[in-house]
Structure formats: C-alpha cells, structure tokens
Amino acid sequence: MRDIIVIGGGIAGTSVAARLAPHASVTLLEAEDALAYHASGRSAALYEANYGLRSTVVLNKAGEQYFHEANGGYLSPRGLMIIARADEHEGFLHDTKTLHLEQITLEDAFSMIPVLESTQVAHASFHDGAWDIDTDRMVQDFARELRLNGGEIHFKSAVTAINRTGNGWAVTTAAGTHEAKLIVNASGAWVDDVAKLASVEPIGFTPLRRSMARIPAPGGHDVSRWPMFFGVGETWYAKPDAGSLIVSPADEDPMPPMDAWADDMVLAEGLARYEAMVTEPVTRIEANWAGLRTFSPDRALTIGFHSESPDFFWHAGQGGYGFQTAPAASQLAADLILGRSPEIDTTTQAELSPKRFKV
C-alpha cells in the first residue's frame, strides 16, 4: 500500500509526483512507454509569463525563479513578436497590451525577421521576456527527483479499473494492480475518463487538438535568433526549432482522448495564414504532428480535492500552459495534499479549485 498514486506521466503528473515524493510514498502510472508522450511531448516549449488567464499568469510568475535557477535553469532567450495587417489594428493593440509587449517600428521588426511581407505587415510589437524551455531535461529532472526520493514510475500501465478498498484505492492497469490511500488524477485528456473509472463525478474537460508543421528555414535564413511570432488573435504562430521553423494554425478542434494527429486541411489553412504575412512560400513540410490541449469548462487549471471524495485529487486542465505552470502548479498541489499553507494567494486557489464546478 502506497500513500499516493499519480495517474499520468506528462509534465503535470511527473512534477507533482516529484514534489510529493520526499514526504510520501508515491507511484506514478504512465500508459505509454515514456514520460511526456502526449501533449507534454508536443509542446511549443515557450515560457511567456503573461500568457493565459489571470490564474494561469499567477502560476507562470510564481514559477519564474524555478525556471531560471533550478538545476542550472531551463530557459534560453527567444523573444516574442506580434504582427498585424492594417485592418487588424484594434486586435493588435489588445494582444500587445495583454502580453505586455511594446510597439516597435516596422524597420526593427524586419531586421529581426527579414522575411516579413512589407505590403501586409503594418504593425508590430515585441518583448524579450519570452524564453525557450528545455522541456525534455525538465521532465527528466523531475523524474530523477521522484526516483531519488523512493518514488516508482510504471510504464505501459494504462488504467483499466479503479475500485475502493477498505482504506483507499486499488488501481488496476495493463501491467498489474497498485493500491494507495490517495489518487492524483493528472491524466491529461483522459482525466474525466479516470474519474468515471473511480465513480467520481467528472468535471467536463474538453481535449482540443493543436496541430504543428515543421518547415525548412524560410529562404535559407538562419532562424536561430528569430523571436516566436504570432498573428493577431493567435490565429497562427511560428517558432524557430533546431534550424527549422515550426508553424501552427493554432487550431482548437474538440477531439476524444487519443493519440492525436494533424489534419491536412487544418494545417494547410494555418500555413496559408502564415504565408500571407511573409515573403517566402512554404514549399515543403519536414514533419507534422498534433497534441491535445485539455481545458476545463472555464479554461482555468483545476487543482484540488474532489469535494465529495477527499481521497481523489484533480491536477488537470493544463491546456497549453502545462510546462510554464508546472513548477508552481505542482508546488500548490503538493502543499494542498500535504496540508501545508500554499504560497499562492487564496483568490487564485479558489479560481483553480474544482469546487467552482460544484464537484
């Protein structure tokens, strides 16, 4: 009998398991044969503290020191730019204000990204407070911390049944059964399915597909120092990656929990929106993929005990903010589970609590 079973080996589950391991016996169950296989492994890997709802931004900022200092730091400079057509000025001003960017001259914008189309780009804003995250090292460091403190990780352990025992839970997987006093449900797109297996009322999470395409560096440019750049309203974005450029249509198509793949038409439409703002056409796609960004009904993260099942803890709904919220979100979850006073303010805790959904 363990103290805690964490279901889900993405960044959310791995980080909270690592936070708990020094204080409790923890088992982490992952359905695949590696950590961060689904949404976490398909992340845009950007730390932008001002990105997301108010409660998300609180978590982003609370984790800033961790990102810069823990284990030597996980961030490298990237920068963020928004570009807009003349007829998008109102939306451009809104996005610029929301993300705390500063308007820059078109000359400066073209110097940073020389393939911008001068006949289309009428406005630009930028700041250098956006960073690439070394996501793989971050996941592996949390996993190492978990193991060093006696935690167990079980791969190929998809949960097939969850039953109450006299003093906790029996979680049956494809590889065997595990028992613990508390379940932490950090299973990404599958969180409601896991709740149903435990006969716990689901919240109503929605997995939304986000597609990506990797294209060759436009015009043969060295893109390594380019910022990530967005269209107004996040209708598309592009980000340098290993000498190439990742372009996303920023789609949010509802999907059932699954190993998602990109839709060719959705990708084509997004690439067309990108192409309209640059001088270089997309002539080849090197690779494409998709992930499921799972949101609660109000799109805020959900962190807390189920009101009618105090031995069932939600750590879910990370959406597209899983990595950048992970240090603070996992600490908040561990504090709540261990009965400690969280550093996160009570207003934000209430905005994240599953009690807001009457569960």
Q: Tens of pLDDT along 87-100?
A: 999 999 999 999 99
pLDDT band of 327, cuts 50, 70, 90: very high
Largest CA distance in the chain: 70
Q: In this predicted model, what pLDDT tens digit does every residue of 137-161 receive, in sequence order?
A: 999 999 999 999 999 999 999 999 9
Average pLDDT (158-166) is 96
DSSP secondary structure letter of residue 156: S
Query: Per DSSP, what are the bridge partners of residue 132?
Result: 46, 76
How far apart are the C-alpha atoms of 18 and 41, rounded to whole Å?
Answer: 18
φ and ψ at 115, to 5 degrees?
A: -95, 5
**Closest C-alpha to 67, from 13, 136, 143, 131:** 131
pLDDT(359) > 90: no
Domains and CATH numbers, the chain: 2-59+134-205+297-357 (3.50.50.60), 80-127+207-295 (3.30.9.10)
pLDDT at 187: 97
pLDDT(44) > 90: no
pLDDT at 167: 92
- Which pair of tokens denotes residue 29? 């169950």
- Which pair of tokens denotes residue 259? 């190993």
pLDDT at 253: 96
Q: Where are the alpha helices (DSSP H) in the chain?
A: 11-20, 54-62, 64-69, 89-98, 106-112, 135-148, 191-197, 264-275, 322-337, 346-352
Share of the chain above pLDDT 90, in %: 94
pLDDT at 358: 81
pLDDT at 42: 64
pLDDT(220) > 70: yes
Contact 183, 198 (CB under 8 A): yes
Q: In this predicted model, what pLDDT tens digit does every residue of 19-43 receive, in sequence order?
A: 999 999 999 999 999 998 765 556 7
Helices and strands, number each (H, E), in the chain: 10, 20
Q: H/E/C letters for each residue in 48-78? A: ECCCCCHHHHHHHHHCHHHHHHHHHCCEEEC
Contact 39, 293 (CB under 8 A): yes
Q: Are strands 152-154 and 26-29 parallel, antiparallel or unpaired?
A: parallel
pLDDT at 36: 86
pLDDT at 249: 96
CB neighbour class for 308 (10 Å; exposed up to 12, middle 13-18, buried from 19): exposed
Average pLDDT taken over every residue of the chain: 96
pLDDT at 198: 97
pLDDT(283) > 80: yes
pLDDT at 174: 86
Please state, in angstroms and as integers, the Cα–Cα distance from residue 30 to each residue in 164, 203, 354, following that order.
Answer: 20, 22, 23
CB neighbour class for 202 (10 Å; exposed up to 12, middle 13-18, buried from 19): middle
pLDDT band of 125, cuts 50, 70, 90: very high
Average pLDDT (245-270) is 95
How far apart are the C-alpha atoms of 133 and 130, rounded to whole Å?
Answer: 10
pTM strictly above 0.85: yes
